């Protein structure tokens, strides 16, 4: 769960950085107020959604599963279910799936 937590936190940092860039572009009049407002709101929802998922990982114990695949399936399902229940933006589902695959690739040393 440490790797997944790190991946989610890295995504949060990336989205926060994007939000800063967006604010800079708006202050330089490179984008309109409409574009800034819409994108800022979406980024804020995605950041909030990812933050809400981090504590969910604490309830998953890796020793409860027979292998890494079962753990990955359970983790993905648990996070996706929580994201849907809390009506997080759809993009979070893709982030979760990509991060699970990335971690499996890393752990199992699979070709990407």
83-96 pLDDT per residue, tens: 999 999 999 999 99
pLDDT at site 112: 59
pLDDT at site 109: 83
The token pair that represents 60 in the structure block = 């998953």
The token pair that represents 54 in the structure block = 């981090």
SS3 readout for 28-61: CCCCCHHHHHHHHHHHHHHHHHHHHHHHHHHHCC
Q: What is the DSSP letter of 62?
A: G
Q: Provide the CB-side half-sphere exposure for 8 (13 A, CA).
A: 25
- Per the structure, the count of domains in the chain is 1
13-67 pLDDT per residue, tens: 999 999 999 999 999 999 999 999 999 999 999 999 999 999 999 999 999 999 9
Q: Which domain holds residue 39?
A: 2-108
């Amino acid at each position: 769960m440490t790797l997944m937590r790190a991946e989610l936190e890295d995504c949060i940092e990336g989205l926060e950085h994007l939000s800063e860039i967006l604010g800079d572009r708006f202050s330089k009049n490179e984008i309109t107020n409409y574009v800034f407002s819409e994108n800022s709101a979406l980024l804020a929802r995605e950041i909030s959604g990812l933050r809400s998922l981090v504590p969910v990982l604490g309830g998953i114990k890796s020793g409860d599963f027979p292998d890494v695949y079962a753990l990955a399936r359970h983790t993905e399902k648990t996070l996706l279910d929580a994201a849907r229940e809390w009506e997080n933006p759809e993009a979070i589902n893709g982030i979760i799936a990509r991060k699970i695959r990335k971690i499996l690739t890393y752990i199992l040393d699979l070709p990407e």
